[in-house]
Structure 1
């Protein structure tokens, strides 16, 4: 078992931090929603799926 050293050495997992931030954004959106559930379109908007796809298409050209 590997244990992180005690002290000032902080290891950051940027992918995990980004996933936590996205989960937080979804929780905030869900709590503000007026319906029982978020629509798939709302979830995509919160997660910025369309922006990511546009960025990918721009990188391919």
Structure 2
């Protein structure tokens, strides 16, 4: 998750939206995320080599 989205202010204009948000947080409480396995190889590319990596378009 992007850090910037965590730091934003949340404003509710309606009581039902506020209650729905609180209910969603309560529902998510205690749930664990799924384990992710990377199935493809990864490599680091220098910024000046990115165009060469993707080729001409």
Which TM-score bucket, shorter chain as reference? under 0.3
**What TM-score results when the alignment is normalised by the length of structure 2?**
0.26
**What TM-score results when the alignment is normalised by the length of structure 1?**
0.26
Higher relative contact order (CA 8 A, sep 6+): 1
